[in-house]
Amino acid sequence: MKKTLISVVAILVLFVSALYAAPPYLDVPPGSVKSTVTQAGYSWMPGGFGGPNQLYAVFRLGPLAAGQAYALTLTYDAGTDIGYGHSWVDGDPAGKDYAPLVGIGSGTGTRELKGKEDKFLFTVDPKSTSNLLYLLVRTSQAWNFSVGLAGRPAGLTRNSQDRWGYYYVTDFDFDRTSPFLLTRSAGATPAAEAQASPSGYVELPPNATRPLATAKSFPAMPNFFGGPDAHYAIVHMGPLAAGRRYELTLIFDAGDNVGYSAAWVDGDPLGKDYWSFVGIGTGTGTREMKNKQQKYLFSIDAKSSSGSMYLVVRSSQPWNLSVSLTDRLTPGLTTNSQDPWGYYFVTDFDLDRNSPFLLARSKP
């Protein structure tokens, strides 16, 4: 009887401990975006960051490369008048060895601005022995937002203005807050997020960014797309909403002269029932341009019975890039828009009459 009672008590203790365990950190590797909402449950939070009675989200940024420059983006809907603060920390803030590098307090204001962004430029000190940086976001009420991490875009400075005319860039190098010397996370690397489905396809939901790497890993690739001897990455986009317009972005370092093509497909391209809507072939060229982008605007036909579509990316050699999908279209983006190097970089499938894409062959 005593053993049974002890077992029941132990189970209750474990249950209560799990119930009140702190929410997990969100890993944000370069080239990715993570969305979340601040919440309670951080009973361990030191008073220097606000104490346990506030709402938090904790991000683990990395793996970061020593000497590399990065841009972090906070994206949210302004106008909710939420005050927030964020702290940049070397070392696990829940541990015993950490050092706050910089902290900033701000707010979402009262003017309604959908998809507002705040960007933060920083560099990792070349002498760093760790590749992780922690970001603590604290709010007085629940806040929905996302954090994106990427290499520093060309031409972005503290004098850059957003589409509403606000300065929105903080340059920690200019403020002499960074380079950040990272030494307290023992060089640990967060577990890589599973990006691929069991089929080997990369899953890409709206408002997310995923890394891609083309490889000879699809021996069953039909000759229609290039046959089994080329290098491929297959992206499974969804869930897509019927009648909605989207913006897809390919992000890569131009200059390595890689030839590539992208086919937009209804139905599994390795299955028996698929239809290719449109395909475009081009290349990365020989001019070096870091974080070059190619954008594609398209719509989903309102009569679609499926909620997913495939993108087949084929390259002449192994190619590393990222792909981003959003239903929050960049305001003012047209086929006449030019990138920082003066190149036209937008294809509008609606304007070219290739879309709306009627999706009927993929599983919803």
- pLDDT for 318-353, tens place per residue? 898 889 998 888 888 999 999 989 999 999 999 999
Q: Where are the domains of the chain?
A: 23-171, 202-348
φ/ψ bin of 269: left (φ > 0), alpha (ψ from -120 to 50), beta (otherwise): alpha
Residue 251 and residue 324 in contact, taking contact as beta carbons nearer than 8 Å: yes
DSSP state of 217: -
Q: Residues 156-208: pLDDT tens digits?
A: 899 999 999 999 999 999 999 999 999 986 544 333 333 334 356 888 888 88
pLDDT at 87 over 60: yes
pTM of this structure: 0.51
**Residue 190 buriedness (CB in 10 A; 0-12 / 13-18 / 19+):** middle
Q: What average pLDDT does the segment 48-52 reach?
A: 87
| Beta-ladder partners of 310 | 236, 265
For the ranges 123-132, 220-229, 268-277, the lowest mean pLDDT is seen at 220-229
Cis amide leading into 52 (omega within 30): no
Residue 288 and residue 225 in contact, taking contact as beta carbons nearer than 8 Å: no
Judging by DSSP bridges, how do beta strands 231-237 and 259-266 pair with one another? unpaired
pLDDT for position 257: 92
Fold match flag (23-171 vs 202-348): yes
Residue 97 and residue 185 in contact, taking contact as beta carbons nearer than 8 Å: no
Question: Residue 7, Cβ neighbours under 10 Å: how many?
Answer: 10
CATH fit for domain 23-171, picks 3.10.450, 2.160.10, 1.10.10, 2.60.120: 2.60.120
| Beta-ladder partners of 248 | 296, 325
Distance CA 122, CA 84 (A): 20
The CATH code of the domain at 202-348 is: 2.60.120.510
- What strands, in cross-sheet order, belong to the sheet with 320-326? 208-213, 320-326, 245-254, 289-299, 346-348
pLDDT at 235 over 90: yes
Q: What average pLDDT does the segment 33-48 reach?
A: 86
Residue 149 and residue 30 in contact, taking contact as beta carbons nearer than 8 Å: yes
Judging by DSSP bridges, how do beta strands 144-151 and 259-266 pair with one another? unpaired
Question: Residue 141, Cβ neighbours under 10 Å: how many?
Answer: 12
Higher pLDDT, 245 or 13: 245
Encoded tokens for 149: 């991490």
Distance CA 69, CA 124 (A): 7
